[in-house]
Each structure stands twice: as structure tokens, then as C-alpha cells.
Structure 1
């Protein structure tokens, strides 16, 4: 058993996704990157067998943390930070045994099956890509995915670590063809009365046009998620008011503010259509009545964001984010605005 564990640690340490944290001072693009990186196509999802035991499905440990890979076809959504890796790991062996190609649409994840496919969205600009997960990492508590150089380029994430939203494309989605519509179905069963069901209903009831991205972890992660990480978004333009003409607020709902006040905000979801965010707002208010008065909808470059706040301190915002995480099984994002 000890020998097997040591072998697995050596495998992870020698592969492209060994104990690393994405781009570092010695990493970066190749000397002569392709001129058409912006045209590199998404990974094409295809049904691939999920290994139930052994190999890349074995539980493993890195840096004192234990990880249990997923061995079924469950849906999976996550919101968190993404990093990327480049020439330092180019052509090295990945955890799946394949060679890492920094110019292919691939990624590393701590627990998703190898291989599997995920849709990755940059909420700051709305860009999306589909990548094939064939590696393990990144082994930092505050990061959920490590992207190839090409994937990070297409998402405009080469400047460093940034928030993303990811959604697994399951084998069931691939067989049904639903992944091509950009609204991968939520197939998990949840009790009808639970807060999780309320959040799931808000997403599932939206059409393909208005359910672009909701930062919700509607499937519980195998490894406990870290506390919400505070991100300063000073570089973003001021959020605009959601006008009543564009989307009448539901009865009893608070009017959206013209711009977020300074302080700390907890973001619960982001939609491309106002109808979707208003439905989601109602579901959240029903699931957590005490939060209803703090909910606000802001518009940023065509994206409707549901945020709660503002909170006077980082600790207060984190406490609320934890309550939302535990009460609604969402993965909220805490942001600071000055």
C-alpha cells in the first residue's frame, strides 16, 4: 500500500500537473507561438469511458491534501479561480499519460474524471471555450482549474489568475447532443422542497438564451471547497442600473441600484437575460428570506449579475458567502469594490 501511494505521488510530481500553481516567472508562451491561436477550435466532446477504479480514479494526496476523483457521469458546476500553464510543462506527460500540448484546448482539474470535458466561461467578458480535462491540478486551494495556454488565450486570461465558471459536459449530454446548445441540462435529482432544488429550478426554468452562466455548485464537490476568496474588481467599469423598462422587477422585489456602493459584495449568479436573473432572484429570496432585502441586480456589458450587499468588512461578506454556500449549495464569489 505504501509503495503504491509513493508511486502515485511520484507520478503526479513528474507529470505536467504536479505540485505547481499555474504560470510562474519561469513559465510563459513558447518562443514562436502559432499566429492563429484565436482560431484554435474547442475540444470536440465525445463519449469516453469513465474508469471506475484504479489508475487516475484512485484517491491521491498532494501537499498534505487528499483528493477523491469522481468516477461517475454526474453533472458538475463550479465557480472559482483559473490559472494556466505553458512552455515549462509543454510536451511533458500529464496525469492521464498523454503529452501536454500548450496549444491544444485542454485543462487540469483535481477530481473530474480523466478524460472529461468542461465548458469554461470568463464572466468578465462572456467568452466561453470547451476543453478536454486530461491532467490533475492546480494544487492550490483557491484555484479550480488550470488551463492550457491556448484556452487561456481564447478566454483572455493570460494576464494571470482570474475568476471563471465551469460546467461539466457529461457523457449523457454528449449522447443527447444538448451540449451543442450551450445549455447543458441539469440532470441531478434533488428533493423538491430543498433550497438546492429551488436554485436548480431557477436555472433549469431559464431558456437557452437566458441561462448562460450561473456560478452554482449544484453537485456537492468530493473535496470540501475552500472559503470564498475575495477578489478586487476595480478594473471593471461601473455596473449600470437595470431599468424597469428592460425588465420589470417582480412584485415585492427591491429596485436595482444604479451602481454598487463601495464595500464587499457576494455574487450569486450571472445571466445573459434579465428574465433569467429575476427568476433566480425570486428563487434565492424564497430559499433564504433573510437575504431578500440585500439582493440587487446590476448590468455589466450585457451580463445581469445578482449580488448581495454591500457588507462593511471582508469577514461579514465571507460569513454571508458561507451561509449561501451551505443554505443553497451555490458557490458564491466575494468581490471588493472601492
Structure 2
């Protein structure tokens, strides 16, 4: 029993270290330092007006249990990873086949695969309707949602439904994705 008393402080420190996630919060917003992943250099920065088209993929338990922001990763929550946007950021993601659009909270870094511009959590991929295909063409736009939507996303829940991208607006985003012919 005396030996156990000597190790109790160490055991409590180890236990505390295992569960020390950052609280889910929108402050402070972190830009982060430049970094390299899989041989590619990334420079996080403020990106007002961010609006890109490319490909989304999704990830689940294989990512680990902590986001780049230090928060506990919730695979079924509505979140995403982006290589350079400030953490957290909010983006609207529109799938370019159906036009379905969702609001997502970016709290992690990635994807680190060529041609991918965002990695969605499994929950976000299901909500967007791309969980069965693995990846999809998308438009990703920086958003400034109201506090109700921010609060829901911080809890891992879906924000209110967004109007789908349709008609000429959808066609225009599909054209942006097409590579110019040489």
C-alpha cells in the first residue's frame, strides 16, 4: 500500500493528460504557422471571400481523437478539416451533382491528398449525401452564420437547412471545376 501512495500523483497526472481536450469554442481564432504535410507546404492565413471548387472527401475514426484545434474529434458531428483556413472557420459546402448545401465548422487540418480542398467528418458527409461515394465535387465558401447555427455546430449538430445551389448558379460552379482545354 505505501508504494501505491508514491505513484498516485503520477497516475492522476497521466489520467488528466489523456482527457485534456480544449473546450469547443469559437475563440480564440487561430491562424497557425506554416507547415508541411506529405511533402507539400501549407500557409494558414485569413482568407476573406474564400470561395473555391474542388473535391471533398470524408474521414472518421482513422483521424485520431483530437482535432488540430485541440478539441475532441466527433466523427458523427458536423465538422471539417481544411489545410489553410483559420481555426475555427465556418463554410458552406455545396455538392455539385445535387446542389445540396450544408454549413460546416472547420476545426481541423487536412485533407492532404492531391485535388482535395476539404475533408468532412462522417456526419457532415452523410448530411451532404456523399458518405457512400467517398469523395465528391464541391464548392466551399467562407460563411458568417448566426449565433444559433454556430452554437448547434459547436455541439456537433447540423445547422438550419441551407437552400440548395440550383439552376445557373449550380451550372456556373460546375464550369469552374472543369479544367481549361489545351
> TM-score if structure 1 supplies the norm length?
0.38
Asked whether 1:128 is paired with 2:109, we answer: no
Alignment partner, residue 63 of structure 1: 38
Q: Could you tell me how far apart the structure 2 residues matched to 1:306 and 1:129 are?
A: 19
Q: Mind listing any 5+ residue stretches in structure 1 that lack a counterpart?
A: 1-45, 183-208, 214-271, 278-302, 309-330
Mapping 1:112-127, distance limit 5 Å: 112-127=85-100
Which residue, out of 271, 294, 305, partners 2:171?
305
Deviation at 1:49, TM superposition (A): 3.8
CA distance in 2, matches of 1:68, 1:157: 28
- Residue 333 (structure 1) aligned to one of 174, 177, 181: 177
Q: Higher mean Cα deviation, 119-128 or 135-144?
A: 119-128
How far does residue 304 in structure 1 lie from its aligned partner after superposition?
Answer: 5.6
RMSD value, Cα? 3.0
- Taking the aligned partners of 2:60 and 2:87, their CA distance within structure 1 comes to 20
SS in 2 for 1:305: helix
Q: Deviations over 1:101-122 (max 9, x none)?
A: 0011000000000111111111
Q: Match of 2:129?
A: 156
TM-score (norm 2): 0.67
1:139 matches 2:112: yes
Q: How many residues align?
A: 143
2:126 counterpart SS class: helix
Between 1 and 2, higher relative CO (CA 8 Å, sep ≥ 6) is seen in 2
| Change over 3 Å in CA distance of 1:103–1:124 after alignment to 2 | same
Whole-Å separation in 1 of the counterparts to 2:110 and 2:80: 9
Please tell me whether the aligned partners of residues 47 and 174 of structure 1 are also in contact (alpha carbons under 8 angstroms): no
Q: Greater CA radius of gyration, 1 or 2?
A: 1
Runs (4+) of structure 1 exceeding 3 A deviation are: 46-49
In the alignment, the residues of structure 2 paired with residue 69 and residue 161 of structure 1 have an alpha-carbon distance, to the nearest angstrom, of 23
